[in-house]
């Protein structure tokens, strides 16, 4: 069973605190990759994954609803955490034994004047494997090939989990005699994260800037948007795969893209 138990209390009209416990479940299964055949003894199985999630937080509004501040601290305990790795040229799911992820979230949204909206989001994570025997450990040998051995990853950071991340945005809306205009600026930041359980290979930190300007007609039936994504043309990978004996294979994100979007409502 999966379930949620929560208790909240309003200390003030616009100040709510809460504490919650969640049990999550992800079913197990069998791997489809098997170079030796597909008899029952040759197909590896994956145990079900469970997580106990504890959270305490606060939700609040101030200054006649012009400022919203939400914060939370959380602690996740994983058992039989499922991990995707590449083995024998195919993707295989294995159990990483146990992991503990704890962190803090902060979200702030403000409207100092009616036309201007500002937001800020920050997160800090401390994600580690608490138990992971026989973990895949990758290294390059003198020939340049990438090989995989086994090791103990206990105490290492979980993969694809930056310790620090955040986002900020500013939106300005104003009305004119020819329609409404909406300007938006968004900045997102991702700290460095590890691609492997031994924390030998990582993706560097990066920040992205997105911009848009939208005009909407007075009747609300037409709109035109000018937009730009990744305006700084930052090169980064959304994922990194470790393929033996090839090496590291990155999945690069889109470069700077921009365009015009027209929308018509009928």
Q: Are 66 and 82 in contact (CB under 8 A)?
A: no
The tokens for 182 are 């909406």
User: Which residues, including other chains, have CB under 8 Å from residue 219's CB and lie 6 or more apart?
Assistant: none
pLDDT, position 89 = 61
Distance CA 26, CA 126 (A): 22
For all residues of the chain together, what is the average pLDDT?
92
Q: What is the 8-class DSSP label of residue 133?
A: T
Q: Collect contacts of 12-19 with beta carbons under 8 A, ≥24 apart.
A: 12/60, 14/60, 14/61, 14/62, 14/65, 15/58, 15/59, 15/60, 16/58, 16/59, 16/60, 17/56, 17/57, 17/58, 17/59, 18/55, 18/56, 18/57, 18/58, 18/59, 19/54, 19/55, 19/56
Region 161-165: mean pLDDT is 96
Q: What pLDDT, in 10s, does the model give residues 52-108?
A: 999 999 999 999 999 999 999 999 999 999 888 776 666 778 888 899 999 999 999
Secondary structure class of 8 (helix, strand, coil): strand
Q: What pLDDT, in 10s, does the model give residues 40-63?
A: 667 788 899 999 999 999 999 999
Nearest to 147 by CA among 83, 97, 198: 198
pLDDT, position 88 = 62
């Amino acid at each position: 069973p999966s379930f949620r138990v929560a208790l909240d209390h309003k200390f003030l009209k616009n100040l709510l605190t809460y504490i919650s416990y969640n049990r999550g479940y992800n079913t197990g299964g069998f791997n489809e990759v098997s170079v030796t055949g597909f008899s029952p003894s040759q197909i590896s199985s994956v145990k079900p994954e469970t997580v106990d999630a504890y959270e305490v937080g606060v939700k609040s509004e101030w200054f006649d609803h012009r400022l919203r501040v939400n914060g939370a601290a959380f602690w996740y305990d994983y058992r039989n955490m499922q991990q995707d790795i590449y083995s024998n040229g195919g993707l295989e799911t294995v159990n990483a034994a146990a992991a503990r992820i704890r962190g803090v979230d902060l979200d702030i949204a403000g409207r100092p004047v009616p036309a201007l909206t500002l937001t800020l989001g920050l997160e800090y994570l401390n994600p580690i494997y608490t138990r992971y025997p026989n973990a895949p450990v990758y290294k390059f040998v003198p020939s340049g090939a990438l090989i995989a051995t086994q090791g103990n990853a206990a105490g290492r950071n979980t993969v694809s989990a930056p310790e620090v991340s955040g986002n900020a945005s500013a939106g300005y809306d104003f009305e004119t005699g020819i329609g409404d205009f909406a300007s938006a600026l968004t900045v997102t930041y991702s700290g460095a994260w590890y691609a492997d359980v031994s924390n030998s290979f990582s993706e560097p930190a990066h920040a992205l800037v997105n911009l848009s300007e939208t005009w909407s007609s007075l009747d609300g039936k037409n709109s035109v948007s000018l937009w730009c994504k990744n305006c700084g043309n930052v090169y980064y990978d959304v994922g990194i795969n470790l393929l033996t004996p090839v090496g590291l294979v990155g999945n690069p994100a889109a470069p700077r893209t921009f365009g015009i979007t027209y929308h018509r409502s009928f």
